[in-house]
Copies of this chain bind each other. A is one copy, B any other.
Amino acid sequence: MVKPVSRREFLNLLAAAGGAGAVIQASTALGLMPAGASASTLDLAAGNGRSALILGGGLSGLTVAYELGKAGWDCMILEASHRCGGRIFTVRHGALIDEIGNRQYCEFDDEPHLYFNAGAARIPSTHRNVLKYCKELEVELEIFINENKTCWVQDDAMLGGKPIRNAEYTTHMRGFMAELMTKAMSEAAMDEPFTAQEAEILLGMIRRFGDLGEDDVYRGSFGAGYASGGFISHGVQKDMIAFRDLLGTRLGMGLLRASEGETGPILMQPRGGMDRIIDGYLRQVGDRVSYRAMVASIHVRDDGVEVTYDQDGSRRRIRADYCFNCIPAHLVTGFEHNFPADYVRALKYVRRGEAYKAAFQAKERFWEKQDIYGGITWMNNRSRQIWYPVAGMHKRKGVILSGYDFGGGMYHTRMTQEQRIEAHLADGGKVHPDYRNLVEKPVTIAWHRMNHMLGCAGYWTRRLDGSWAPEDEEMYHLLQAPLNGRHYIIGDQMSMHAAWMESALQSAHWAMNDLDRRLRNTPARDSTAP
C-alpha cells in the first residue's frame, strides 16, 4: 500500500520534484530534441585532380564521395564490413546481422515489404538535407506513422496490466487535465486580467481540449472510441477510466508529449526500406567503394594522409591529399597513428550510446484486425515498444519491431539470442495474448556489439539548460577542426544532434565547406596543405 499524501505534502513534492530538467535530459539521450530547418548548401570548387580517401561507408562518407566526385575529385572509400550504410541498415531475407557473438542471417520471407529498418527508421520533414538527397538520388518516400492513438498502452501497474488504447489514455487524461485547468482559472489569481474575448477563447479551448461537460467536469468522451454502434445505431461510450487509475503508469509522460519534438513533424521513410538511400548513393559512387578493407594505420603528413589497411589477407597502403574519416571515434584510437595527444584525447572523449532493437515476422497482420495501421504500442517493460509497419498494408504478413531498448541497451545484450526472443514474446504477449503463435523468424541487434561499430551514436554531454559542459565544447571543436588541415573526423558523432541522418549529412557538408573555403584562399598548389 502506498501512503496517501496530504495537500501540504503534495505542495512540498511539487516544489521538490526537480522540474522538467531530468526529463529533457532523458529525451535527448538518443537525439530526440526537435530540430528546425537548417539546410546546409555546398558550392565546391573544381577538384582539379585532388584526391580524397574516405574511411567508412556510412552516410557521411558516401556523401563526401558523392559530392567531391561531382566536383571532380578522385575519391576512394574504405569500408571495413561487407556493406555500406553503417547504422542505415535494412534487414531483409538473407541479410547478415554481424553482431559479435550473435551473428544471424535473416530468414524473413523474400518479399519487398518484409523488411526491418534496424537502424535509422524515420525522416522528419524538417531534415532538409536528407530529403534533398532522397529527391536527387530518386529515392521514393512514403509517410511513416509514429504516433497512433489506436495502438495500445500497457503497464502492469495500471488497471492490473490490462492494455488500453492510446486514445483512451490520452483522451481521459486530457479531460482530467482540462478540469484542473478550469480550477486554476476559477481559483488561482490571474497574473494579468483577460479581456472578455480572451477569456472566452481560453475557456472554449480548454473545454474542447478536454471535452468537458457544461459544468467543466469531465465524464468521458467519444474521443476515447465507441464501445459499440455509431453508424446504424447510436454510439455507446466506452467505460470511463478513473483519474487515479490512469496515474498508475509513468508512460503518460511520453504519451501526452507525443507528436512533439523530433517526432512532431511529419515523418517519412523510403518505400522499400531505409537502405534505398544507400542504394541511391551506390548508384553514383558504388565503384569507389572497397569492401572488407579494415584500416590498420593512419598517418597524417604535411602533404597528405597515408593509410594502411588489411584486405583479402594482405596489408595494403594508400595515400591521398585529404582524408574524411567517419569511423566511430573510439575505434580510430585503436589504429596505428601519428596523432598528437590532445587529438587522441578528444577521440577517446566521444562516448557511444547503446541501442538494442528486435523484430519478428508476423504470420498474419493481426494488428490490422484491431484497426492498427502503423504506429507504436507503448509498454512499461524492457521491450518498451512494438512498431507496426506501414509497408505492405493488407498483405498477408508483415515485420514488426518487437523491442527497442536504448539507454539501457545492455539488458538484452547480456542475454542469449533465445533469451532475448523469449523476453519479447513474454512482453508482447501482455498486449497481444496470442503473440507467441502469431510471430516467427526473430532477429535482434545490439548496435554496441555490431562488428566494426561497437557502439551506437556518439554523444556529448548536454546540461539541463541545453548548453554543453565546457570540456565537451573544447573536445568537440578540437575534433571538428581538420588535423594538419588534412584529416577530418565526420559523421553524426561530429554533431550536436547525434543519431539522425541529417546530422551525418550536415557534418559532411561542414567538413567539405571548410576544406573548400581553405582551398579557395590558397594559391593552387596540388598536394600541398592550404
A10 contact set on B, CB distance < 8 A: 185, 190, 193-194, 199
CA distance A510 to B19 in the complex (A): 55
Q: Does A125 contact B (CB under 8 A)?
A: yes
Q: Does A36 contact B (CB under 8 A)?
A: yes
A202 x B247 contact (CB < 8 A)? yes
Task: Render A203-233 as a binary contact track against B, CB cut-off 8 A, 1 for contact.
Answer: 1111111011111100000110111111111
Q: Does A524 contact B (CB under 8 A)?
A: no
Task: Render A160-201 as a binary contact track against B, CB cut-off 8 A, 1 for contact.
Answer: 000000010001011001001111111111101111111111
Residue count of chain A within 8 Å CB distance of chain B: 133
A142 contact set on B, CB distance < 8 A: 142-143, 393
Number of copies: 2
Give the one of A202, A209, A468 with max B CB within 10 A.
Answer: A202
B5 x A141 contact (CB < 8 A)? no
B150 x A265 contact (CB < 8 A)? yes
CA distance A469 to B5 in the complex (A): 47
From known contacts A36-B230, A230-B35, infer whether A128 and B212 are also in contact, taking CB-CB under 8 Å. no
Q: Does A408 contact B (CB under 8 A)?
A: no
B7 x A189 contact (CB < 8 A)? yes
Q: Which of B197, B203, B247, B266 contacts A373 (CB 8 A)?
A: B266
CA distance A186 to B233 in the complex (A): 44
Q: Does A412 contact B (CB under 8 A)?
A: no
CA distance A55 to B126 in the complex (A): 49
A196 contact set on B, CB distance < 8 A: 2-3, 5, 9, 13
Q: Does A502 contact B (CB under 8 A)?
A: yes
B125 x A150 contact (CB < 8 A)? yes
From known contacts A247-B198, A260-B223, infer whether A234 and B468 are also in contact, taking CB-CB under 8 Å. yes
Q: Does A252 contact B (CB under 8 A)?
A: yes
CB within 8 Å of B: which A11-32 residues: 11, 13-14, 17-21, 23-24
Which 9 pairs from chain A and chain B are nearest by CB? Answer: A19-B214, A36-B226, A184-B184, A143-B143, A2-B195, A183-B188, A183-B184, A231-B506, A20-B207
A-B contact pairs, 12 of them (CB 8 A): A5-B193, A7-B189, A7-B193, A37-B225, A37-B226, A38-B229, A38-B230, A180-B181, A208-B256, A230-B497, A231-B496, A233-B496
